[in-house]
């Protein structure tokens, strides 16, 4: 009798073990893919919220260590003051060819049909390609445009730095610069995240008198109140490559191949409006 029972199906046999392993794998993969699909909308919302915070921080409207403004406004409330527009970088005109809710300029730069290849001489930020259409974030108040925030990116030492540059209402005075993603070394190039260094960007002039991008990152500052000092930010010590990368990326996106044409148009419109207002 005992012998007969031993001859029944062997639960510890290889086939059974294999079957259970396959079954467990199947259950696990169903659970993991189910979670991935169901969490995707939440991840997307978090990503968008994060970008809004980065834009607000670059504009100096949100402290680095806070998710709420000094007067108690949430990120969503503050971001509602911004108008998100798509801009044709070549013409500097607003465009409706893309949906600003879903458009990704960085992804567009990798698509040869909606971007241009940059020549070695032009490509000071080491981008390879530049999207035809990008996004701008515009904050208005009763007097008109209060701040403009533009996305910027460029190569440092270890990889591309991604960030936002905010300008005051004259479209030349820098309100702030912040990077939300980079691969620079903490303590060296990673000092781009140091709030003290970031503060040094406030009030710096993006364009010289001739309208050319003129930001310079220097080890030795020019005398206070000198002409050159208006365009200067401290270099990052021990990080020459990151420093050069940051200078180049800011000047690239301020230039003719970046948001230069758009910012010039805004300035011309503002001047026209002020002349019109005087009549």
Ligand X SMILES: Cc1cc2nc3c(=O)[nH]c(=O)nc-3n(C[C@H](O)[C@H](O)[C@H](O)COP(=O)(O)O)c2cc1C
Residues that bind ligand X (CB under 6 A): 157, 184-185, 188-189, 237-242
Instruction: Output 163 or 261, the one with its CB closest to ligand X.
Output: 163
Instruction: Output 211 or 238, the one with its CB closest to ligand X.
Output: 238
Instruction: Output 34 or 187, the one with its CB closest to ligand X.
Output: 187
Q: How far is the CB of 180 from ligand X (least distance, A)?
A: 17
Instruction: Output 16 or 237, the one with its CB closest to ligand X.
Output: 237
Q: How far is the CB of 194 from ligand X (least distance, A)?
A: 13
Instruction: Output 131 or 184, the one with its CB closest to ligand X.
Output: 184
Instruction: Output 78 or 246, the one with its CB closest to ligand X.
Output: 246
Q: How far is the CB of 163 from ligand X (least distance, A)?
A: 15
Q: How far is the CB of 193 from ligand X (least distance, A)?
A: 12
Q: Indicate the residue whose CB is closest to ligand X.
A: 189
On whether the CB atoms of residues 211 and 266 are closer than 8 A, the answer is no
Q: Please, what's the largest Cα pairwise distance for the chain?
A: 113
Q: How far is the CB of 241 from ligand X (least distance, A)?
A: 3
Q: How far is the CB of 188 from ligand X (least distance, A)?
A: 4
Query: Look-up: residue for tokens 């070394």?
Result: 185
Q: How far is the CB of 247 from ligand X (least distance, A)?
A: 12
Instruction: Output 173 or 185, the one with its CB closest to ligand X.
Output: 185
Question: Alpha-carbon distance 86 to 126, whole Å?
Answer: 23
């Amino acid at each position: 009798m005992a012998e007969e029972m031993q001859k029944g199906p062997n639960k510890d046999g290889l086939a059974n073990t294999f079957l259970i392993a396959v079954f467990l794998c199947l259950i696990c993969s169903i659970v993991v893919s189910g979670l991935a699909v169901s969490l995707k909308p939440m991840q997307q919302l978090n990503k968008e919220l994060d970008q809004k915070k980065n834009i607000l921080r670059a504009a100096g409207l949100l402290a680095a260590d806070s998710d709420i403004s000094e007067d108690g406004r949430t990120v969503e409330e503050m971001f509602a003051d911004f108008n998100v527009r798509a801009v044709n970088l070549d013409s500097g005109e607003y465009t409706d060819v893309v949906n600003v809710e879903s458009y990704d300029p960085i992804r567009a730069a990798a698509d040869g049909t909606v971007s241009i290849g940059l020549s070695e001489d032009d490509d000071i930020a080491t981008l390879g390609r530049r999207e035809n259409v990008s996004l701008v974030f515009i904050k208005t108040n009763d007097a008109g445009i209060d701040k403009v925030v533009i996305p910027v990116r460029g190569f440092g030492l270890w990889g591309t730095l991604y960030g936002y540059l905010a300008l005051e209402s004259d479209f030349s005075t820098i309100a702030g610069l912040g990077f939300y993603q980079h691969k620079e070394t903490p303590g060296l190039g990673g000092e781009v995240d140091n709030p003290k260094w970031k503060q040094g960007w406030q009030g710096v002039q993006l364009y010289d008198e001739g309208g050319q991008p003129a930001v310079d990152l220097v080890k030795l500052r020019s005398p206070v109140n000198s002409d050159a000092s208006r365009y200067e930010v401290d270099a990052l010590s021990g990080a020459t490559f990151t420093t050069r990368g940051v200078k180049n990326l800011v000047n690239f996106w301020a230039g003719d191949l970046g948001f230069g044409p758009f910012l010039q148009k805004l300035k011309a419109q503002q001047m026209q409006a002020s002349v019109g207002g005087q009549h």
